[in-house]
């Protein structure tokens, strides 16, 4: 009898490029919605749960009597109760290798669009057909400016390479990256407060954990220069969204490019959407044809390894391995 895979996030259409191969591997059940009760019912007899944004709670994991693993279609696992998974000896496997350059591209696109006022110029041109130089529509160079990278993992390093190519000075803050200074000689590592004071652009590339939740709040935003732009393609919860709104409204900072929000899907009334000094996108930094194909392939291979009992890679809770329940 084939194993059962429960697949969530019906709107995301995850694993569609390899769905035939997935069905050869197992009986695949796609949930109608991501409500906790639905996941409890559909995961109870599942061998593998594959999720993107759906919340995998303690209750869902406790109901999963046969679950071999939870597989995240993506990188961040902040929607999965890792502590509960570890208690149940359920490994949580993610896919960190498919899109570092892709996400860095998007962060860089937001940065250059902010610097060159691309959205404002486009909007005004469509309204009035032409404009003349004025202080309000004059852009800034990237060359010789300082980019501050908060987090220096795969995506942070990819962002550093792009910024180096544009002649930017690169500073970074990441207490968990050992040896990065030697690998990236052009990067200066420093404390967060010093980075915020110095940077012309601050780009966030750390994961959301209890330690990083609200990492950029009222105090941190107040340290930034009035000319500084903030870019976030990581997780909305790393930034205190209410404090960011106040900083943008008062021009305490120059602007923000945001691909992620505290609440997703975001609400239409989010004040960040009506500001003229923000660029907002719907958590699409990963979303290219090529990256989606790579992610599907990476997830499919990990699903095969899980169901065939092979050695697992990229386990976010390695404590769950090697013991019986």
**By percentage, how much of the chain surpasses pLDDT 90?**
94
Evaluate whether residue 26 is within a structural domain.
Answer: yes
Q: Which of 162, 173, 205, 235 is catalytic?
A: 235
Question: Could you tell me if 171 and 72 lie in one domain?
Answer: no
Q: State residue 255's pLDDT score.
A: 98
Query: How many whole angstroms separate alpha carbon 13 and alpha carbon 142?
Result: 37
Question: Could you tell me if 272 and 142 lie in one domain?
Answer: yes
Question: Could you tell me if 301 and 276 lie in one domain?
Answer: no
Q: Which of 88, 154, 283, 297 is catalytic?
A: 283
**By percentage, how much of the chain surpasses pLDDT 70?**
97
Query: How many whole angstroms separate alpha carbon 217 and alpha carbon 230?
Result: 12
Angle of helix 100-115 relative to helix 154-165, nearest 10 degrees? 50
When pLDDT is cut at 50, 70 and 90, the band that residue 193 belongs to is very high
Distance of CA 263 to the CA centre of its chain: 13
When pLDDT is cut at 50, 70 and 90, the band that residue 180 belongs to is low
Predicted confidence (pLDDT) per residue in 28-66, tens digit: 999 999 999 999 999 999 999 999 999 999 999 999 999
pTM: 0.92
Question: Could you tell me if 115 and 129 lie in one domain?
Answer: yes
Question: Could you tell me if 75 and 124 lie in one domain?
Answer: no
Range of the domain at 123: 100-280
CB atoms under 10 Å from CB of 132, counted, come to: 5
181 has a pLDDT exceeding 80: no
> Active-site residue 94, yes or no?
no
pLDDT top residue among 321 and 106: 106
> Active-site residue 283, yes or no?
yes
Mean local confidence (pLDDT), 235-243: 98
Q: State residue 325's pLDDT score.
A: 43
When pLDDT is cut at 50, 70 and 90, the band that residue 195 belongs to is very high
189 has a pLDDT exceeding 60: yes
Evaluate whether residue 256 is within a structural domain.
Answer: yes
Question: Could you tell me if 93 and 116 lie in one domain?
Answer: no
Evaluate whether residue 203 is within a structural domain.
Answer: yes
> Active-site residue 264, yes or no?
yes
Q: Is the peptide bond before 195 cis (omega within 30 degrees of 0)?
A: no
Question: Could you tell me if 121 and 260 lie in one domain?
Answer: yes
Q: State residue 288's pLDDT score.
A: 97
User: How many independent structural domains does the chain possess?
Assistant: 2
Predicted confidence (pLDDT) per residue in 252-287, tens digit: 999 999 999 999 999 999 999 999 999 999 999 999
Predicted confidence (pLDDT) per residue in 77-112, tens digit: 999 999 999 999 999 999 999 999 999 999 999 999
Evaluate whether residue 325 is within a structural domain.
Answer: no
Evaluate whether residue 299 is within a structural domain.
Answer: yes
Question: Could you tell me if 155 and 236 lie in one domain?
Answer: yes
Question: Could you tell me if 129 and 211 lie in one domain?
Answer: yes
Q: State residue 16's pLDDT score.
A: 93
Evaluate whether residue 149 is within a structural domain.
Answer: yes
Question: Could you tell me if 165 and 35 lie in one domain?
Answer: no
Predicted confidence (pLDDT) per residue in 201-225, tens digit: 999 999 999 999 999 999 999 999 9
CATH code assigned at 270: 3.40.50.720
Evaluate whether residue 89 is within a structural domain.
Answer: yes
Q: Which of 264, 274, 290, 313 is catalytic?
A: 264
Q: State residue 177's pLDDT score.
A: 83
Evaluate whether residue 160 is within a structural domain.
Answer: yes
Strands of the sheet with 4-7, listed across from one edge? 27-30, 4-7, 48-51, 69-72, 92-93
Question: Could you tell me if 216 and 113 lie in one domain?
Answer: yes
Mean local confidence (pLDDT), 152-163: 96
Q: State residue 179's pLDDT score.
A: 57
Continuous H helices in 116-240: 118-128, 154-165, 180-183, 192-198, 218-223
Mean local confidence (pLDDT), 177-195: 79
Question: Could you tell me if 135 and 72 lie in one domain?
Answer: no
Q: State residue 1's pLDDT score.
A: 86
Measured at the alpha carbon of residue 288, what is the angle toward residues 282 and 293, in degrees to the nearest 5? 125
């Amino acid at each position: 009898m084939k194993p059962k895979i429960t697949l969530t996030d019906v709107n995301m259409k995850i694993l569609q490029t390899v769905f035939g191969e997935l069905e050869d591997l197992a009986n695949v059940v796609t949930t109608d919605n991501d409500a906790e009760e639905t996941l409890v019912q559909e995961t109870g007899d599942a061998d593998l749960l594959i999720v993107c944004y759906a919340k995998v709670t303690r209750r869902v994991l406790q109901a999963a009597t046969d679950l071999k693993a939870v597989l995240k279609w993506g990188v961040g696992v902040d929607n999965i109760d890792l502590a509960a998974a570890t208690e149940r000896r359920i490994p949580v496997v993610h896919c960190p290798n498919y899109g570092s350059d892709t996400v860095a591209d998007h962060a860089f696109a937001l940065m250059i669009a902010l610097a060159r006022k691309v959205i404002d110029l486009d909007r005004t041109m469509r309204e009035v057909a032409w404009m003349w130089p004025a202080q309000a529509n004059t852009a800034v160079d990237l060359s010789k400016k300082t980019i501050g990278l908060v987090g220096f993992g795969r995506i942070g390093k990819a962002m550093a390479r792009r910024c180096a190519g544009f002649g930017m000075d690169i500073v970074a803050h990441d207490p968990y990256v050992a040896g990065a200074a030697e690998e990236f000689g052009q990067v200066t590592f420093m404390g967060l407060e010093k980075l915020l004071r110095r940077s012309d652009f601050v780009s966030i590339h750390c994961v959301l954990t209890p330690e990083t939740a609200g990492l950029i709040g009222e105090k941190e935003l107040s340290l930034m220069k009035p000319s500084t732009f903030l870019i976030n393609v990581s997780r909305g919860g790393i930034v205190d969204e209410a404090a960011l709104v106040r900083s943008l409204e008062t021009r305490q900072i120059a602007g923000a490019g945001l691909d992620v929000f505290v609440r997703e899907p975001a609400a239409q009334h989010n004040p960040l959407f009506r500001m003229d000094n923000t660029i907002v996108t719907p958590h699409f930094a990963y979303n290219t044809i090529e990256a989606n194909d790579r992610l599907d392939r990476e997830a499919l291979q990990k699903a095969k390894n899980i169901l065939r009992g092979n050695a697992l890679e990229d386990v976010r809770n390695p404590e769950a391995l090697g013991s019986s329940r």
